[in-house]
Structure 1
Amino acid sequence: MSVYMVERELEGIAMEDLAAAQKAAIATAEKHAAAGEPVRYIRSTFAPGDGRCLCLFEARSPEAVARVNDEANIPYVRVTEVLDLAP
């Protein structure tokens, strides 16, 4: 499976709404995985100064990641395959 970055523009989002979006992403990814479409939420990074949010998912395709985010009703700009270079 590959890692995909979901780019979001969430300027002005309340922290409670950001937490709810993260929970929705996790729950929807788990639902898809249980149904046989493996998608795993990894983590998010949020820049409150300008509202940029980058979320990492593991999946077989960018379309699977897009489906999860569409179903969770979380806005995004694009889904891009990336290399997760965590130490």
Structure 2
Amino acid sequence: MEVFMVERSLKGIPMDQLAAAQQRAIRTAAEMTAAGTPIHYLRTTFVPEDGRCMCLFESGSCESVEALNRKAQIPFDRVRPALDLRP
């Protein structure tokens, strides 16, 4: 599986709505995995000042990550392959 970064513009989103979106992403990833499309939510980084949000997923394809976000009804600007450089 590869890592994909989802870029979002969420300026002004309340923290409870951001947390709810994160929970939907986690739940939808579990549902898709159980249905045969392996995908794993990794983490989110959010910059409240300008609303930039980056979420990382492990998946077999960019299309699967896009499908997850559509199914979970979480807006996104784009999905790109990424490197997760953990220490």
What range describes the TM-score normalised by the shorter chain of this pair?
over 0.9
Tell me the SS of whatever aligns to 2:20.
helix
Q: Which runs of 5+ in 1 are unaligned?
A: none
Stretches of 4+ aligned residues off by more than 4 angstroms: none
Distance in structure 1 (CA, Å) of the matches to 2:7 and 2:34: 25
Deviation at 1:9, TM superposition (A): 0.2
For residues 1-87 of structure 1, the aligned pairs below 5 Å read 1-87=1-87
Distance in 1 (CA, whole Å) between partners of 2:29 and 2:69 is: 9
Distance 1:83 1:13 in 2: 27
Paired with 1:7 and 1:30, the residues of 2 have a C-alpha distance of: 21
- AA aligned to 2:52 is R
Q: Give the letter aligned to residue 62 of structure 2.
A: P
Deviation, 1:80, is: 0.2
- What TM-score results when the alignment is normalised by the length of structure 1? 0.99
Q: How far apart are 1:55 and its partner, in Å?
A: 0.1
Percent identity between the two aligned chains = 56
Task: State the Cα RMSD in Å.
Answer: 0.3
Question: Aligned partner of 1:70: which letter?
Answer: R
Paired with 1:82 and 1:26, the residues of 2 have a C-alpha distance of: 19
User: How high is the TM-score relative to the length of structure 2?
Assistant: 0.99
